[in-house]
Structure 1
Amino acid sequence: GANTYTGTTLNAGTITVSDGGSLGATTGPLVINSLAPDDGSAVVLNINGSVSTGSLSGTIGTPYRGVNTATINIAANKTLTVNQATDDAYSGLIAGAGKIVKSGTGALTLSGVNTYSGGTTLTQGTLNVDRLNNNSAAGLSNLGNSGPITVTGGTLRYTGGGTVTSDRFMLTSGTPAIEITRNTAALTITSQFGAATITKTGAGTLTLGGNVYYTGNFGEISVAVNQGTMVLASTVTDPAFMDTVANVVDVQPGAILRLGSTGNNVGRQVRPENSFHMSGGTYDLNANATTFGPQIDGSGWILSGSTGAAVLGVYPSANKTFSGNIVDGNGTVGVRLANRIGNNTYASLPAATWTLSGTNTYGGTTVLDAGTLAAGSTTALSPNSAYAVTATLALAGHANTIGSLTGSGTVNLGGATLTIGNDNASPAAFSGAITSSAGGRLVKVGTGTLTLTGSGSTYDGGTTVNGGTLLANNATSSTGTGSVVVNAGGTLGGSGVIAGDVMLAGGTIMAGTPAATGTLTTRGTHTWANGTYAWRINDATGTAGGSSGWDLLRFSGLDVSAIADTFTIKVSGTPARSSNSSSGNPPFKRSAFIMNSKPTSSPPMSWLSCTALPDAALSMYCFGCL
């Protein structure tokens, strides 16, 4: 019948609740004790109808002889709903083909080796277990041998140890939380997922596996990692659809969100139109080479905990700032901004800006194919990364250093200085535009070569060559509108145009490259203090500036008044000797060195003295001449 009493305590014998019956008020406690002191006794509750009760608890004592047992038998297709308002434990057996539903804000601890098979549902509060069986095989489990484990709310707390893999979980809706208390424990869930927000707590490891489909399953879940480690280890069933997680709600300090299977290059992304937030935790790329998702905001660490190359792929769909640090870890990490991966194109998403404001030291390549990557600090751009820019790189007022620069995009200096060449590499040319109207500067360092071929460079703060080689190879000045200073250790060359003045302060200037002749034109004035003019000649009877002739350096004026001692002209090439060539090795055509000056030049530029040396260097002691 519809009983209304307010609690049930069973200390001996058997109670059977028939279909339509009840155990009193649904808020009343159910206590099942088996405490026989001498001979063991069996206490049994048979539930043949769906029953709701308040808190479930019970104590099983140890008799002098025999065994005390407490059993709840739930009939097939019937449910025992426990509205747990307090924190209690039940150590007896739960058997039968029915199911358990745990609700209420309290914590229920089940410690018996239960065999019921109708499934378990947690909607509220906490359900504590220390035993889970592997998959659906019979074994030692607090939640029965079979049947789904559905969590739509509350916290399922696993206090056991070891490694367990379960295909019984249903995390398809709501806000389930999984807590794994021991740092040595690991739970892998390989079953069903849906539009749920899963929160991981506790020191242990939770792995989310199973298959990924475009809709449903993994592609709809959101995750939050408050403690311990969560691993996303899905398997993609169709590479055309690669969404794995709808949102990353948060990764808290000390927590780790890790991608599964090292080197698994598909199905590793968060849906690009959604969110990825970190509050000081760690995102471990785990050597996965395709890890696309939205811009990450917040703080924390991004790295690869495994050896090998990983790529952090970002869809720039909204303006976000990440103040954390991107580092290599045990592997190598690269960064890519793009609007396409695999068969998925997100061209309709806005071209937004991702701002980095931490200290980034990763060594992989930075590829900018979409949107804008902006610096929010002076250590935002990794000095160890090669930057391939076909979209936009912006300093946003922060001076930065990068490894090298290629591509055809835009580098916006603003009023800051970009230092290039820290990786000592000599990559392909940068054909894009370097812009600034606020005094932005370019500095070349390292031992490699930076080649600029773009026509749209307008930066006005000047260029300094401190190391390696800078080749200006565009007819409209790829070095902007400012002056170029070449210090000791640096070389300025190319076959293009330099709009500003050139100051040679201990470095080297040349036309073309060390291996090929060319013509370098400067619209401004050259001021040579100390340094070297590297002059290449291929054929004394050839054409100035041509491939079959010799280097040609053009400028509107030359000031050599600051030369304190010796200025060196270094000659390279092996031309045939001609009748008007000087002696030396290699010989050179004296007329090729004559600087033509306007008739009004004062004083006129002319030779004072030239001496051919065996090492093919010419030392010149002069003023107002070349």
Structure 2
Amino acid sequence: MNRSYRLVWNRALCAVQAVAETAGSRATAGSAGGVEVPLPPPRVRRAVAALLLGMGPGLIAGGAWAQASGGLAVISNGGTGGLGGAGNGGGAVGGSVGEFPGLAGLPTSGGQGGAGRNGAAGPGGLGGAVGATSVTGSVTGGSGFSGAPDPDPVYGAGGGGGGGAAVYTSDIGISVGSSTVLQGGNGGSGGIARLSGGGGGGGAGLQSVAAGVTLNNAGQTIGGNGGAGGLGQWAGGGGGGGDGIVLQGGGATVVNLGTSTGGNGGAGGSTGGMPAFGGEGGAGLALQSSNNSVSNTGTLRGGSGGAGGTAALFGVGGAALRVWGHSNTIVNMGALTAGMAGDGTTLGDAVRITGNDNQLELRAGSSITGALRVALGTGNVLRLSGDTTDSTTSLSTATYSGFARYEKTGASTWTLIGTHTGLTPWFVRGGALSIADDRALGNSGGALTLDGGTLNVTGDTTATRTVSLGAGGGTLDVIRTLALNGEVSGGALQKTGPGTLTLSGVNTYTGGTRLLAGRINVGSNSALGTGALDMADGTTLGFAANGLNLANAIVLSGVGDPVVDTGTFDGTLSGAITGTGFLTKEGTGTLTLAGANNYSGPTTVSAGTLAAGAANTLSALSSVTVASGATLNLAGFSQRIAGLANAGTVSLSGAAPGTTLTVTGPWVGNNGVLRLGTALGNSGSATDKILLSGASAVASGSTRVQVTNLGGLGAPTTGHGIEIVGTENGASIQPGAFSLVGTVSAGAYDYRLHVTDGAAYLSSATDVVTPPEVRGPMPTPAAVPTYRAEAPLLAAAPEQLREAGLAMIGNLHQRVGDPVSSSTASAGPRQGWGRLISVDRDISQEGMVSPRSSGRQSGVQVGTDLWGNPNWRAGVYVGQLEGEMDVTGFARGVQNYAAGSNDLRSQFLAGYATWRNDGGAYVDAALQAGRLRYTAAPSLASAASGKGNSVLASVELGQALPVATGWTVEPQLQLVGQHLSLDDLSLAGATVRQDNDTAWLARIGVRVKGEIASGAGWLQPYARLNVYRRSSGTDTARFIGPAATTDIGSRTGGTSTELAVGATWQITRLVAAYLEAGRLWASGGAAQTEGAVGGSLGLKVNW
């Protein structure tokens, strides 16, 4: 708790007031002397009470009261300098010590002396005399006298006398010439005792008490210095410095061209255990009244604070300008220099305000040293002003605080340097306020108001404060980057400067936005308020978030190239775009135009996608350029444009065909792509379409056309086919302007592009050219279908897969070779075996597309007996064959068209049983299941993969007949039945369903075999002749659309002849090798099957 107090005189209450934790003293005209009185023990308190009764009334005469400044109690009983002296020639005796509240220090007397104890002990020093009552030349006020020591150590010593004012006047017209110096008197020192006296306050340089004064100061006014505090056990506080100029009357007009300096504070006493504070420096100009007008182009300087009894007890520096009154207006174009504190490092206030509704205006030429501070009061304004003749001026943000409002007016530019943590709401009403960091504007809770002024941003900064735009609108001049995340409300916004302004708040301003330079990024749907956006040449509207929809109208006010940059985001402009400027789309995202746009400048899609959000949202007055890698997407909405140059992609496709792009000017293809959607069917099919309209609408260059089938079933076309590019009103198409990319297929048909000088068509038929030797009238060429390349591939696939099954099951001797000879019969009744297989096939089938397959399938087969005796064997085998079959046929209107290839893979699992007798007869039966996979890879089109399964059963019998020693002839008969089931296959524009007959094969053959003994083992060579007869049937590949089906039939069945040779070599009693090689020739039928040399090589082990 506090153990020391200070008693001060309160003018408002006309009473003495105790204040806790205080020290040195200071008055306004000059500082009062005082006695520091720490609360004494009970034996001393009677003396303290006596001091209260003995206070001198000089404080009253000074028109102010002492001010708390530290931790010890000070009884402010020193006199105030600068009162009295009129007619006394500067020799008047200071007012005597009298009973409180006796009057003293009247204009007819000297300054009031410091008080002792009611005249009993420690009398105060006499006050200094006033120098003059009017300004007639240089004047120095009289100094106060030192307080007398107290002979009684129980009581306190007297305080020092206050210094006299240099000039104390009631004149209403005051002029201080340039050579005039007005020096206030110094305060006297405090008396020395156990309870020492405080130093007297310095006198004012000039003190005016009249109302309505006009003061012109071109000279120097200097406040007197405060007296030193007395030394003692309880040392006295230093006296405050006198003010350079004091105005007490109110309504004054002050023009300062010269210098006004406050006096320095006196040093605090330091002897003993209780050191004291130094005195406060005086003010350069003190306004103790209201409604004054001050213009400063000179210098106002505060006095230095006095040194403390210890380093920590220093007096504060005086303010250059000290304002107690209300509604004062100060315009500064000069220097405001705060006094230094008694520690030599702490700077005081340049301006200190404790009143209400005062206005401090700074203009160019202002030099501020110290803080601009409102210590107490409301409605005070700090204003930065100046006109265009003023150079750019800077203000440190560390120098101001406590104002109710901060304004920038006039045409000048002010720069706020540094950051500010206080609440500083700025109003920019003219010129420019420049910052590098939003924190220069203070705490984000302080709003920024722009009303005819400009905020200039030179750094990279983000703000969350609200921004209000007044009736005069506001300008944001952004040199680098400014992100406004708070609300922007009010009137109109103007953006200048080369930098980027990002608006992300929910903004409500209604006056529109003018983008005159640089870039605006939007981060919310309402970022631009509710008004229109006016974009000048070379400006950019960017997107800072995805999925935004800006409803603002946009005016392209220049004749140059404004840019809309989506970056990586997608966004929509649903307001109308008007004006004469260009429009360029940049960024990889998609910009959708959804308004009724009618701007007349060109449109350029430099990157990403420009999309239509409704019909006719692209301006009919604008020609469009699409750069390489960029896209113009109509998204299914019909549009009309004035011309097109395409190096990228133009897409008309929507959910359904029928979109029309009407081009009234040149169409120039720069190797760009045109994407159309068509319900591929007959000639009346719905389709997207380019319509060239007008004599200037000439298609030239090179445009690659990509067609997407939108639900078309595929059908033969008649006439020209499906029109995808049309002309009217004199438009035309130059040769080579349009070409088809890849294949276009639907159902069983491929579509080709036919281009004339007046249209371009998709056709699934081609004309048969009549030979030139035909005589008579030329018949109308017949149209033939242009089946898609997949048609012969899929028509041939079933027969190719059947051949794989036949190659795997083969016959008994191909699978396991001949049995061991009788000489090695003891090897065992069971065996394990495996063989490598390779077959070559060339298959020609009759049918709608006449497929012909050629290729080779190879693989492996491995089996084992599960049970056996001398006559029977039963077992299982597995195997796999794979290969590629090239296919030609009727496709795309061309006979024997190289349609592509089928990549086949078949996997098998089978069981078998074989019976033999000793007379050379045998019967072999096998049941084989297959897992089938294939990939149809058409030429110039995408591959498609399918799957299925098969079941194959074979019964074979033969009888070996001896014809010579070691030789036999063996007639053979084999019957095979095979069924395929292939799953539906999905293609672009069709589903293909295979309908395959069960195929039967009969083989009749004869084999001549011998047995030859050699040193290397038994050799059983043979030659075989076979005739194969396949049953007749039809494989149907059914191309199915949503409402139509096209069947592609291919015939099966035919006769083939095979000649083969082979041998079995018994290497050891347990091991044998076997092989066969043969060739197949077609002998007739609807499906002619033949093949080059193929065969197998096997190894078996008996046990």
CA contact (8 A) 1:518 1:550 kept: yes
Aligned length: 530
CA contact (8 A) 1:131 1:142 kept: yes
Deviations 1:386-413, CA, capped at 9 Å, x for gaps: 67463122246x4423324952222222
Taking the aligned partners of 1:166 and 1:107, their CA distance within structure 2 comes to: 13
CA contact (8 A) 2:590 2:609 kept: yes
Among 512, 519, 536, the residue aligned to 1:382: 519
Among 632, 645, 653, the residue aligned to 1:504: 645
Deviations 1:351-390, CA, capped at 9 Å, x for gaps: 6x555453333345596841133355xxx14165667463
Distance 1:529 1:488, change over 3 A: same
Quote the residue 1:460 is aligned against: 600
Taking the aligned partners of 2:741 and 2:447, their CA distance within structure 1 comes to: 63
1:57 aligns with 2:223: no
CA contact (8 A) 2:141 2:163 kept: no
Quote the residue 2:567 is aligned against: 424
Amino acid aligned to 2:338: Y
Taking the aligned partners of 2:412 and 2:733, their CA distance within structure 1 comes to: 73
Taking the aligned partners of 1:556 and 1:228, their CA distance within structure 2 comes to: 65
Amino acid aligned to 1:458: N
Amino acid aligned to 1:562: S
Among 324, 346, 360, the residue aligned to 1:176: 360
Amino acid aligned to 1:403: G
Among 301, 304, 327, the residue aligned to 2:480: 327
Q: State the TM-score, normalized to the length of structure 1.
A: 0.63
Distance 1:530 1:42, change over 3 A: same
Deviations 1:58-113, CA, capped at 9 Å, x for gaps: 56999xx9999961389xxxx965987524253315859x9997246341223214
Among 424, 427, 430, the residue aligned to 1:277: 430
Deviations 1:514-549, CA, capped at 9 Å, x for gaps: x9988354363561412444537698689x9xxxx9
Quote the residue 1:338 is aligned against: 489
Q: Which runs of 5+ in 2 are unaligned?
A: 1-82, 97-103, 110-129, 150-157, 171-180, 210-214, 228-237, 248-253, 266-277, 762-1103
1:121 aligns with 2:287: yes
Quote the residue 2:954 is aligned against: none
Distance 1:176 1:192, change over 3 A: same
Deviations 1:141-197, CA, capped at 9 Å, x for gaps: 2459xx985583376532445587999732534543688855xx6565453232545
Amino acid aligned to 1:194: G
CA contact (8 A) 2:452 2:473 kept: no
Shift of 1:509: 0.5
Shift of 1:453: 0.9
CA contact (8 A) 1:225 1:250 kept: no
1:221-370 aligned at under 5 Å gives the runs: 226-230=393-397, 245=405, 247-249=407-409, 255-256=415-416, 260-261=420-421, 268=425, 270=427, 276-279=429-432, 281-282=434-435, 284-286=437-439, 288=444, 291-297=447-453, 301-302=456-457, 308-310=462-464, 313-315=467-469, 317-318=471-472, 324-328=477-481, 332-333=483-484, 338-339=489-490, 354-365=493-504, 369-370=509-510
Taking the aligned partners of 1:458 and 1:424, their CA distance within structure 2 comes to: 25
Taking the aligned partners of 1:186 and 1:246, their CA distance within structure 2 comes to: 15
1:88 aligns with 2:222: yes
Amino acid aligned to 1:360: G
Taking the aligned partners of 2:133 and 2:670, their CA distance within structure 1 comes to: 98
Amino acid aligned to 1:157: T
Among 541, 551, 554, the residue aligned to 1:402: 541
Amino acid aligned to 2:354: M
Distance 1:518 1:250, change over 3 A: farther
Taking the aligned partners of 2:662 and 2:353, their CA distance within structure 1 comes to: 72
1:437-586 aligned at under 5 Å gives the runs: 439-455=580-596, 457-494=597-634, 495-511=636-652, 519-522=659-662, 524=664, 527-533=667-673, 535=675, 552-557=688-693, 561-564=699-702, 567-570=703-706, 578-580=713-715
Among 44, 50, 53, the residue aligned to 2:161: 44
1:106-255 aligned at under 5 Å gives the runs: 106-112=259-265, 113-114=278-279, 121=287, 124=294, 126-130=300-304, 140-142=315-317, 149-150=324-325, 152=328, 153=330, 157-160=337-340, 169-170=353-354, 172-176=356-360, 181=368, 189=374, 191-194=376-379, 196-198=381-383, 226-230=393-397, 245=405, 247-249=407-409, 255=415
Quote the residue 2:777 is aligned against: none
Quote the residue 2:141 is aligned against: 31
SS at match of 1:72: coil
Deviations 1:8-63, CA, capped at 9 Å, x for gaps: 489xx966653453534154745355899xx9x98622899x9659944356999x
SS at match of 1:421: strand
Taking the aligned partners of 2:721 and 2:480, their CA distance within structure 1 comes to: 56
Amino acid aligned to 2:499: N
Distance 1:15 1:177, change over 3 A: farther
Shift of 1:447: 1.9
Shift of 1:578: 4.2
Q: State the TM-score, normalized to the length of structure 2.
A: 0.39
CA contact (8 A) 1:313 1:338 kept: yes
Taking the aligned partners of 2:106 and 2:727, their CA distance within structure 1 comes to: 113
Shift of 1:550: 8.9
CA contact (8 A) 2:611 2:632 kept: yes
Distance 1:551 1:622, change over 3 A: closer
Distance 1:509 1:302, change over 3 A: same
Taking the aligned partners of 2:673 and 2:686, their CA distance within structure 1 comes to: 13
1:21 aligns with 2:108: yes
Q: Which runs of 5+ in 1 are unaligned?
A: 202-223, 236-242, 340-350, 583-589
Quote the residue 2:943 is aligned against: none
Distance 1:504 1:389, change over 3 A: farther
Distance 1:95 1:506, change over 3 A: same
Taking the aligned partners of 1:526 and 1:368, their CA distance within structure 2 comes to: 44
Amino acid aligned to 1:297: G
Amino acid aligned to 2:431: M
Taking the aligned partners of 2:472 and 2:306, their CA distance within structure 1 comes to: 42
Amino acid aligned to 2:302: N
- Kindly report the root-mean-square deviation, in angstroms, between the aligned alpha carbons of the 2 structures: 6.0
Amino acid aligned to 2:262: T
Shift of 1:468: 1.9
CA contact (8 A) 1:132 1:143 kept: no
Matched-pair identity in %: 15
Taking the aligned partners of 2:433 and 2:350, their CA distance within structure 1 comes to: 30
Amino acid aligned to 1:276: R
Larger radius of gyration: 2
Among 533, 556, 565, the residue aligned to 1:413: 556
Taking the aligned partners of 2:485 and 2:143, their CA distance within structure 1 comes to: 61
Shift of 1:459: 1.5
1:434 aligns with 2:577: yes
Taking the aligned partners of 2:567 and 2:658, their CA distance within structure 1 comes to: 24
SS at match of 1:390: coil
CA contact (8 A) 1:244 1:269 kept: no
CA contact (8 A) 1:226 1:251 kept: no
Taking the aligned partners of 2:630 and 2:488, their CA distance within structure 1 comes to: 32
Amino acid aligned to 2:501: Y
Shift of 1:506: 0.8
Amino acid aligned to 1:140: G
Taking the aligned partners of 1:600 and 1:116, their CA distance within structure 2 comes to: 95
